[in-house]
Structure 1
Amino acid sequence: MKNLFTLLSLMLISLLGYAQEEVKFEAKIDNKNGDVIFIKNNNVIVKEIKIDDKGVFKASFPVKEGMYQMFDGVEYAGLYLKNGYDLKLTMNAAEFDESIKFEGKGAKENNYLAQETLADEKFGYEKLLALDEQGFAKAIEQKKADDAEKMAKAGLDANFVALHKRDLDMNLLGLQQYYTQVSANKKLNNSKAPNFDYENAAGGKTSLESLKGKYVYIDVWATWCGPCRAEIPSLKKVEAAYHGKNIEFVSISVDVDKDHEKWKNFVKEKQLGGIQLFADKNWLSDFIKSFNINSIPRFIIIDPKGNVVDADAARPSDPKLQAQLDSLLKS
């Protein structure tokens, strides 16, 4: 009997211990964006948490230790979670990143992530991308050293440091790849633009050569591309703003041949303006390959003589575009 009692006690202790292996997470969110908070890991929803009318929630759930994201509507914040944490969050969703504050077990690591997000928003990435190759490489190494020193001084959880360092390294690798692409694009500026001669949705064909004497703003897109479609309202506004001026707006679709009719119908249904063209060999078209285009949307500006002004121009939704076009059209 004694042995049985001991065994049952050990089993009870084990079960209680297992039940406690969860994250406790509660919050008070002012001006909440929605009625549900989503905890995600690489776009996989780990937990849905309902928020009451006062912006309060309490939840407990098991996790695999690691990095997560907390979504409140379209806004999100990074989280570091592991079982045993007891987090208390206060936040004003109207000032999302600036107002995040954690208390309780695990607060140090999560406050670190929140503060780093703010610092990252102020980091001069545009200046970094404007550096020459030697300067860029030196700046990247300095940022790695600064990040490592900052984490060392903060006295953070060792597992958090290892995981966060991995994420930072991946981000910098992506930045280096982007820098390489931007540098390659810059080398195309001031060079002669290759010609194209593509099918026009309005009938016949249109070549770049036939547009000489005008500036040409080119939008490389596809009907299946969400970010491309998101630019359409802004592109229409820009076209309207420069109507009658010395500039043509040309959209080149890289849809595959089987989607040719889909493209024509899309142009008609959405009442797309400008000159709507269909690339002859989609991604393998000579013009597309000459600009090393491997992601879309991509925007290009050609001058009246057929030279490349900007091989990676601003998007229609970017105010910088109109400033650039105003400058060109005045010159």
Structure 2
Amino acid sequence: MPQFLKGVTLENREGDELPAEEHLKGKIIGLYFSASWCPPCRAFTPKLKEFFEEIKKTHPEFEIIFVSRDRNSSDLVTYFKEHQGEWTYIPFGSDKIMSLMQKYEVKTIPAMRIVNDQGEVIVQDARTEIQNKGENVEGLWAEWMALIK
């Protein structure tokens, strides 16, 4: 049970509210720290979206949560709907955004951490790994799964 996101409501593309504890139970989670105003984020997001579309074909247990650093809700939702994949996001203004940034020591964006449903880090710098090895989806997934204790 994802206790590290206890009480958090996620939203999807359709605007549905999903309790994080239910939605993420038993999942491998990518926490994607990004923002619409960040040029490196806008360059990485399409690569992440492509990677996610491929990995979901064989690994439905993988989920991404967009943790936005946008300055307002409108920018967050527009960036999410126009550029990101079929994943969820933490709504603008949630206290959980800053606590996740602190917990996972996110100093710059874009950043991505792969965590298990307990919030334990599996991959510290998934952004670089996806950037460099993302074309080999199954190979990268196998590397990540080998890190799970």
Residues 300, 193 of structure 1: CA spacing in aligned structure 2 closer, same or farther, 3 A cutoff?
farther
CA contact (8 A) 2:3 2:118 kept: no
Unmatched runs of 5 consecutive residues or more in structure 1: 1-191
Report deviation, 1:193: 8.0
| CA–CA distance in structure 1, aligned partners of residues 9 and 126 of structure 2 | 21
Per-residue CA distance 1:176-224 (angstroms, 9 max, x = gap)? xxxxxxxxxxxxxxxx983261441432244266413111112111111
Report deviation, 1:274: 1.8
| CA–CA distance in structure 2, aligned partners of residues 286 and 221 of structure 1 | 15
Corresponding residue for 2:4?
194
Corresponding residue for 1:250?
65
Report deviation, 1:266: 2.3
| CA–CA distance in structure 2, aligned partners of residues 235 and 207 of structure 1 | 21
Aligned match of 1:225 in 9, 14, 38? 38
| CA–CA distance in structure 1, aligned partners of residues 65 and 33 of structure 2 | 9
Corresponding residue for 1:97?
none
Corresponding residue for 2:140?
324
Report deviation, 1:235: 0.7
Unmatched runs of 5 consecutive residues or more in structure 2: none
Per-residue CA distance 1:67-114 (angstroms, 9 max, x = gap)? xxxxxxxxxxxxxxxxxxxxxxxxxxxxxxxxxxxxxxxxxxxxxxxx
Q: TM-score, normalised by structure 1?
A: 0.36
Q: What secondary structure is seen at the aligned counterpart in 1 of 2:90?
A: strand
Report deviation, 1:282: 7.9
CA contact (8 A) 1:195 1:209 kept: no
Q: TM-score, normalised by structure 2?
A: 0.72
CA contact (8 A) 1:200 1:278 kept: yes
Q: What secondary structure is seen at the aligned counterpart in 1 of 2:75?
A: helix
Report deviation, 1:290: 1.4
Q: What secondary structure is seen at the aligned counterpart in 2 of 1:261?
A: helix
CA contact (8 A) 2:25 2:117 kept: yes
| CA–CA distance in structure 2, aligned partners of residues 261 and 210 of structure 1 | 24
Q: What secondary structure is seen at the aligned counterpart in 1 of 2:63?
A: strand
**Greater share of strand:** 1
| CA–CA distance in structure 1, aligned partners of residues 23 and 38 of structure 2 | 28
Report 1:155-194 matches (<5 A). Answer: 194=4
CA contact (8 A) 1:222 1:228 kept: yes
CA contact (8 A) 1:249 1:275 kept: yes
Q: Which has the higher contact order (CA 8 A, sep 6+)?
A: 2
What letter is aligned with 1:273? E
Q: What secondary structure is seen at the aligned counterpart in 2 of 1:255?
A: coil
CA contact (8 A) 1:193 1:308 kept: no
Corresponding residue for 2:113?
300
Q: CA RMSD in A?
A: 3.0
Residues 288, 198 of structure 1: CA spacing in aligned structure 2 closer, same or farther, 3 A cutoff?
farther
Report deviation, 1:305: 4.6
Aligned match of 2:75 in 262, 272, 278? 262
In percent, how many aligned pairs have the same letter? 20
| CA–CA distance in structure 1, aligned partners of residues 99 and 79 of structure 2 | 24
CA contact (8 A) 1:255 1:278 kept: no
Aligned residues: 137
Query: Structure 1 residue runs of 4+, over 3 Å off?
Result: 320-324, 328-331
Aligned match of 1:313 in 104, 126, 132? 126
CA contact (8 A) 1:255 1:282 kept: no
Aligned match of 1:215 in 28, 37, 44? 28
Residues 324, 250 of structure 1: CA spacing in aligned structure 2 closer, same or farther, 3 A cutoff?
same
